[in-house]
Structure 1
Amino acid sequence: MNYEDESRPLLAESQEQGEEEDRSEQDAYLDKVKNGKLYLATFAAVLGPLSFGFVLGYSSPAIPDLQRITDQRLKLSTEEASWFGSVVTIGAGLGGLLGGWIVEKIGRKLSLMFCALPFIFGFTIIIAAQNHWMLYAGRVLTGVASGVTSLVVPLYISEMAHERVRGTMGSSYITGLFLDWRWLAITCSIPPTVMLVFMCFMPETPRYLISQGKRREAEEALRFLRGPNAPTEWECDKIEEAARDEEANFCLADLKDPGVYKPLGVGIMMMLLQQLTGINAIMFYAETIFEQAHFQNGNVATVIVAATQVVFTAIAAVIMDRAGRKVLLILSGIAMCLSEAAFGIYFKLSVKGQTNSSLVSALMGVGDGISGAPQPDLSWLALASMGIFIAGFALGWGPTPWLVMSEIFPTRVRGLGSAACVLTNWTFAFIVTKTFQNLMDLLTSAGTFWMFSVLCALNVIFTIFFVPETKGKTLEEIQAHFKGRRSR
């Protein structure tokens, strides 16, 4: 008994020394790495998120345009506009399922090249549209491409990048200020076209190549990504060692493994909570929201919000590996919670006949009819609230769930687990987007935003208690965390 007690600290000390040696080897290796071509490959892949950012944002400037046109074959009613905005999420859900299959069958690189095609074909159909069904078909196709992209790009980046530099995403629809719906569709087809060309010259991920038994090709890919001075055989050995632990194919019994069901639960809940912030409904209907808020130029306001999204997504990409995932998620959730509460207050103060003398009386009021002329000194609150919400989302809950999804799954369930997460995300995106106007009618504008504010508060609580910090950890160390053991 005494022998055991004495040996435990010695074993722990020996294990810690071994981990320190592994870490020092890893640091020495990473110090020799050159990231130039890794950034190039990441840029090529990030054109995918940029493309589906255009898809999501396209409806905001396009819907008002399509509701104003004189061509009755294409003019959208309120219900048709609702379907035009939300049908893309049905395609994205199908794309998520398709992506989970093809990413394992043909690899990450070819999957990215494949998803450029429905992007291009979808926008081509919209450009050539002669009736509503062609508009819907184009949106579904671009949705399928978005679903595949949202699954494959995080996997591609996480499997290429080392732990010092993982994490990037972005989207923009700033051209909506200057272009009508048809020319905007032409512009939106450019990023996937460029991505298709660039990806021809990028490598497959080393982890996928190792899983296919292609050691030599994996070393060549690592030499491309890490530069000529890095001893890529060392990293290849580490990936191969981890792959041997994951040789078995997925079966239902694996759902009893904490290394599978814990990350699956975290990934699905993060995707669910991301959509329950109301982000896609707000992005789809941003211009309409500003019009309802009586902002004088809703188009300009929408573009300002879009620019805010781009800037803060870039900031998130820069600081993600310094600040950590949890910190950004918590700050993001708090910012969204407060901004949506403020937006709800704005709509409540805009009640017809409501004075600005008392916030308490506004909150206790029962009516919610929006006046034709709200207090002009409060118009800034609509734009400020939306800007802070988008900045908060872009800083954390926008890119981080996709990044965490790409980091937490074991290799053997990475495609299936990611597909389940993407399907959850886009299913709830459809539900929230399609029911957004109904919620506004049922709960009033103020009540809808207050509901989303409460859900953002739940995001913060979930992050604190359940989301692991993955900053600075290898994919193998993250998987060891879920299994409740230290990585070797």
Structure 2
Amino acid sequence: MDIQNERRRLLDADGGNDDPSGLMSEQDAYLSKVKNKKLYLATFASVLGPMSFGFVLGYSSPAIPELTSIDDPRLRLDGDQASWFGSIVTIGAALGGLLGGWMVEKIGRKLSLMFCSLPYVFGFTIIIAAQNVWMLYAGRMLTGLASGVTSLVVPLYISEMAHERVRGTLGSCVQLMVVLGIMGVYLAGLFLDWRWLAICCSIPPTLLMVCMCFMPETPRFLLSKGKRREAEEALRFLRGPDAPIEYECARIEDACDEMGSSFQLSDLTDPGVYKPLAIGAMLMVFQQMTGINAIMFYAENIFEQAHFKESDLASVIVGAIQVVFTAVAALIMDKAGRKVLLIISGVAMALSTTAFGIYFYMTAHHNPASGEPQTNLAWLALASTGVFITGFALGWGPIPWLVMSEIFPVKVRGFASAVCVLTNWSMAFLITKTFQNMMVSLTSAGTFWLFSFMCFINVVFTMIFVPETKGKTLEQIEATFRGTSGP
């Protein structure tokens, strides 16, 4: 059906609204007939993947103390092995990002999500059955691979399913489920040993595969492959029986026709491709350069200095802060907008890492002869931790992943998302492995002041280059980068 005819039919059905802007009238007419119940159901099924991802990230925290003191010498980890047990996940995730970029284009978003549950389950099974350190490494590598695929596929799946009024909220649920998974494994680690904990971690990916069997492929992927009938069925499932889905189908088809059907390297010269790709990759670089891994590394020591003697409980508290404020971000994302939250988040983290630098500088120059206890400054570190984690959860935690899923044209979404995921995990590995060297060469205070400077650069970058995507369709966002008006 021609999109113009469908627009006229929608406006007539909406009472003949003759708003001169036209575009908002037809979108409002369409969205007024949309039912979100099954969209929320599909989102819930898909975010079992990020929950599994969170279980993987959090697993090392309660498991490493046990594995470094275990009686069995074949499984006992020394300091270097424990470091690799924690960080090898990032290597697997970087590879998973590349694999996920290929999979989403070849087999689609839904099947990619279903298949990524297999290395989760196999990886945790290998850890459960581990007889030596190398089996532990192999299990972590497999779960890292699945995490990389998940971090690419789930944001794409949600953004391509959701309409513009709820896309920010639903997209933010990805990070919310990651931090819920981290907190969940911290809590479970208080009561379970490392093998039983691995068994628990294999439950969400198993549910993911089962639930996704009943969910649709994304309409945009189906239309990009010329499968109009299947796309209409998917939209009818996601939007409800009363929504005039022909309008959305026509709009997406127009955008697909304008951009072409398949990605070529020559497309990298197109502003509609290289501009969002550069923005997406830089968002991933800046996310890691905020110092999030460093703060999490120091969290237990900071809580101990503030007289929280139970380090396990400290981890749960950190996880709870992340969950609460990531949930707040999800609730306000489609009202406040991406850009405002990124700026607020960056300012909060710049201030907190500056305070961290002051804390380390003052403790390093503490004079024992003065008789003042060094722990008097623990309040500053504790407050800085709370402000930093709150700021990260509000903006730079969820939003880079959300924006990545929104700004790329459909034909380059797999390739460009793979570049972003590879960039993110490569930076995570680089900063994690070089952090101790930075602390020696720059001092602790200098390292955190460097993070503060990077947070300031984040804010400037956001203000100048990052577009506001709140309330826009994916096709309108594409048109913005091409310098044309959207459909």
TM-score, normalised via structure 2 length: 0.89
Pick which of 153-162 and 299-308 moved more.
299-308
Residue 438 of structure 1 aligns to a residue whose secondary structure is helix
Q: How do residues 172-251 of structure 1 correspond to structure 2 at under 5 angstroms?
A: 172=180, 173-174=182-183, 175-177=185-187, 178=190, 179-251=192-264
Aligned to 1:432: 431
CA deviation after TM superposition for structure 1 residue 441, in Å: 3.1
For 1:354, give the aligned amino acid: N
Pair 1:281–1:57, CA change in 2 (3 A): farther
Q: How do residues 10-21 of structure 1 correspond to structure 2 at under 5 angstroms?
A: 20-21=21-22
In 2, are the aligned partners of 1:55 and 1:188 still within 8 Å (CA)?
A: yes
| 1:282-335 per-position Cα deviation (integer Å, ceiling 9, x unaligned) | 446643665588752222111101011111111111111110000010111111
Give the superposed CA RMSD: 2.2
Aligned to 1:12: none
Structure 2 residues without counterparts, runs of 5 or longer: 1-17
Q: Distance in 1 between matches of 2:96 and 2:285?
A: 17
Pick which of 333-342 and 59-68 moved more.
59-68
Aligned to 1:400: 399
Residue 83 of structure 2 aligns to a residue whose secondary structure is helix
Q: Distance in 2 between matches of 1:388 and 1:101?
A: 38
Aligned to 1:11: none
Q: Distance in 2 between matches of 1:181 and 1:294?
A: 27
Structure 1 residues without counterparts, runs of 5 or longer: 1-16, 358-370
Aligned to 2:133: 132
Q: Distance in 1 between matches of 2:134 and 2:304?
A: 27
Q: Distance in 2 between matches of 1:349 and 1:271?
A: 32
Pair 1:406–1:336, CA change in 2 (3 A): same
Q: How do residues 105-184 of structure 1 correspond to structure 2 at under 5 angstroms?
A: 105-166=106-167, 167-168=171-172, 169=174, 170=176, 171=178, 172=180, 173-174=182-183, 175-177=185-187, 178=190, 179-184=192-197
| Correspondent of 1:258 among 263, 271, 295 | 271
Pair 1:297–1:83, CA change in 2 (3 A): same
Q: Distance in 2 between matches of 1:64 and 1:138?
A: 18
Q: How do residues 26-37 of structure 1 correspond to structure 2 at under 5 angstroms?
A: 26-37=27-38
Aligned to 1:61: 62
CA deviation after TM superposition for structure 1 residue 235, in Å: 1.0
Pair 1:280–1:202, CA change in 2 (3 A): farther
| 1:203-245 per-position Cα deviation (integer Å, ceiling 9, x unaligned) | 1000011112111111111111111111111111111111111
| 1:144-170 per-position Cα deviation (integer Å, ceiling 9, x unaligned) | 001100110010000000000012222
Q: Distance in 2 between matches of 1:191 and 1:388?
A: 31
Q: Distance in 2 between matches of 1:314 and 1:27?
A: 27
Aligned to 1:485: 484
Aligned to 1:345: 358
Aligned to 2:346: 333
In 1, are the aligned partners of 2:306 and 2:382 still within 8 Å (CA)?
A: no
Matched, 1:48 2:61: no
Aligned to 2:4: none
Pair 1:437–1:185, CA change in 2 (3 A): farther
TM-score, normalised via structure 1 length: 0.89
In 2, are the aligned partners of 1:293 and 1:347 still within 8 Å (CA)?
A: no
Pair 1:348–1:298, CA change in 2 (3 A): farther
CA deviation after TM superposition for structure 1 residue 94, in Å: 0.5
In 1, are the aligned partners of 2:302 and 2:381 still within 8 Å (CA)?
A: no
> Runs ≥4 in structure 1, deviation > 6 angstroms?
none
In 1, are the aligned partners of 2:19 and 2:25 still within 8 Å (CA)?
A: no
Aligned to 1:316: 329
Pick which of 304-313 and 333-342 moved more.
333-342
Indicate the percent of aligned positions where both proteins have the same amino acid. 71
| 1:188-214 per-position Cα deviation (integer Å, ceiling 9, x unaligned) | 222211111111111100001111211
Pick which of 83-92 and 185-194 moved more.
185-194
Q: Distance in 2 between matches of 1:285 and 1:72?
A: 29
Aligned to 2:99: 98
Q: Distance in 1 between matches of 2:94 and 2:306?
A: 32
For 1:243, give the aligned amino acid: C
Aligned to 2:415: 416
Corresponding pairs, count: 458
Q: Distance in 1 between matches of 2:356 and 2:136?
A: 32
CA deviation after TM superposition for structure 1 residue 129, in Å: 1.7
Residue 68 of structure 1 aligns to a residue whose secondary structure is coil
